[in-house]
């Protein structure tokens, strides 16, 4: 690992900590498993307009297995590294912001729905949010005026780590 990859602070959030989302995912997956068992294993067509067995397999693989596994593995990783801030929303996106592009970082409470349209990777090119849950995070202002909000369960230590690295640039 070279010096620029050294991690000074790491913040990881998992979607599986959000109970209402996990209940919804388990409910959808459970329904798909029930339909699969009914139609494929027991041989009883599932629903008033049952899908073909081929499509039942496809739907079950996507929503009974893939969907829950995808949400289980989904996480937001933020690392304060030597010369840049690393943001990874697994499995969708990766972003690195050099400290030379950062103007300021401030921990704050925000409204994910009102300000960014919800959780996940949200917003327009001038205002972008990376969040899993909650309403706290660290707002970054870039030199070009763009705003990047990083959701965090521990925004103050994340802000302090970013500020400490910013002072070196």
* Backbone angle region of 125, left / alpha / beta, with phi > 0 → left and psi within -120 to 50 → alpha: alpha
Predicted pLDDT of residue 154:
94
* Whether the Cβ atoms of residue 14 and residue 88 lie closer than 8 Å to each other: no
What is the block-wise mean pLDDT of the chain (169 residues), using blocks of 10 residues?
A: 80 81 89 95 92 95 93 93 95 94 96 93 91 94 96 96 91
Predicted pLDDT of residue 72:
86
Q: Which of 86, 77, 94 lies closest to 4 in space, CA to CA?
A: 86
Predicted pLDDT of residue 168:
86
Predicted pLDDT of residue 157:
96
Cis peptide before 91 (omega within 30 of 0): yes
């Amino acid at each position: 690992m070279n010096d620029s990859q050294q991690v000074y602070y790491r913040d990881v959030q998992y979607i599986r900590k959000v109970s209402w989302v996990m209940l919804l995912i388990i409910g959808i997956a459970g329904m798909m498993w029930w339909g699969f068992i009914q139609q494929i294993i027991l041989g009883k067509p599932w629903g008033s307009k049952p899908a073909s067995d081929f499509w039942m397999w496809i739907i079950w693989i996507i929503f009974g297995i893939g969907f829950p596994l995808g949400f289980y593995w989904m996480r937001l990783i933020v690392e304060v590294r030597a010369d840049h801030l690393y943001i990874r929303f697994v499995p969708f996106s990766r972003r690195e912001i050099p400290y030379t592009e950062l103007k300021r970082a401030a921990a704050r409470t925000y409204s994910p729905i009102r300000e960014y349209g919800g959780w996940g990777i949200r917003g327009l090119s001038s205002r972008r949010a990376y969040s899993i849950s909650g309403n706290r995070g660290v707002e970054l202002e870039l030199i070009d005026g763009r705003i990047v909000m990083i959701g965090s369960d521990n925004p103050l230590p994340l802000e302090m780590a970013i500020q400490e690295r910013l002072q070196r640039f």
